[in-house]
C-alpha cells in the first residue's frame, strides 16, 4: 500500500539524515491522517494519490507565488518538493492520451457546447484518476470544444 511505502521511506530518510525528505513525507502523512479522520476510515491508494496530488498542487501554487514575489530560492525549494512527491504518483498520461480520452468522452456524452464543459471535465477526471493534471485536462477540453 502506498501509505506504508511513504511511512517506510520517511523512516529511511530519518535514518539517513535527509531532513528535507523526512519533513516533506511527514507533512504528506499528516495530510493523509487528516483525510482519514475526515472520512472516518482508512484511505485506499486512490485516496492517498489524491492527497499527494493536492500537496503537489499546493507546491506548484507556492512556486508561482514565490516567483511573482521575486523569491527564486524559495520557489526552487517548492519545485524540488513537488518533484519529490511526483515519485509517489502514478505515471502521468501524455497530452496525446489525454486528448484522445477527452475526444472519446465528448463522443460518449455527445457534448457540443462549451456550457457543458464542467460536466465533461468531471467525467474525464474520473477516467484519468490522478494520471493527468487538472489544468491540462481543462485546457484540452477547452481546445476540443472550441473546434
- Check: CB of residue 141 under 8 Å from CB of residue 102: yes
Distance of CA 7 to the CA centre of its chain: 19
Q: Which of 48, 64, 86 is the last residue of a domain?
A: 86
Look up the CATH number of the domain holding residue 104: 1.10.10.410
Residue range 82-102, pLDDT digits in tens: 999 999 998 989 999 999 999
What is the reported pTM? Answer: 0.80
What is the residue range of 64's domain?
A: 2-86
Mark whether 71 and 14 lie in a shared domain.
Answer: yes
In the numeric block, which cell numbers belong to residue 2? 502506498
Find the mean pLDDT for residues 18-39.
Answer: 96
Alpha carbon distance 79, 93 (integer Å): 20
Amino acid at each position: 500500500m502506498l501509505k506504508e511505502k511513504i511511512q517506510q521511506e520517511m523512516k529511511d530518510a530519518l535514518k539517513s539524515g535527509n531532513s528535507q525528505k523526512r519533513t516533506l513525507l511527514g507533512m504528506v502523512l499528516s495530510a493523509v491522517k487528516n483525510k482519514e479522520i475526515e472520512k472516518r476510515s482508512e484511505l485506499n491508494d486512490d485516496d492517498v494519490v489524491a492527497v499527494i496530488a493536492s500537496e503537489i498542487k499546493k507546491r506548484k501554487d507556492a512556486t508561482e507565488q514565490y516567483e511573482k514575489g521575486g523569491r527564486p530560492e524559495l520557489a526552487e525549494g517548492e519545485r524540488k518538493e513537488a518533484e519529490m512527491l511526483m515519485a509517489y504518483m502514478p505515471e502521468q498520461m501524455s497530452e496525446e492520451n489525454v486528448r484522445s480520452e477527452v475526444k472519446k468522452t465528448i463522443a460518449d456524452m455527445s457534448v457540443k457546447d462549451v456550457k457543458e464543459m464542467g460536466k465533461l471535465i468531471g467525467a474525464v477526471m474520473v477516467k484519468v484518476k490522478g494520471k493527468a493534471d487538472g489544468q491540462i485536462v481543462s485546457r484540452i477540453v477547452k481546445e476540443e470544444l472550441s473546434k
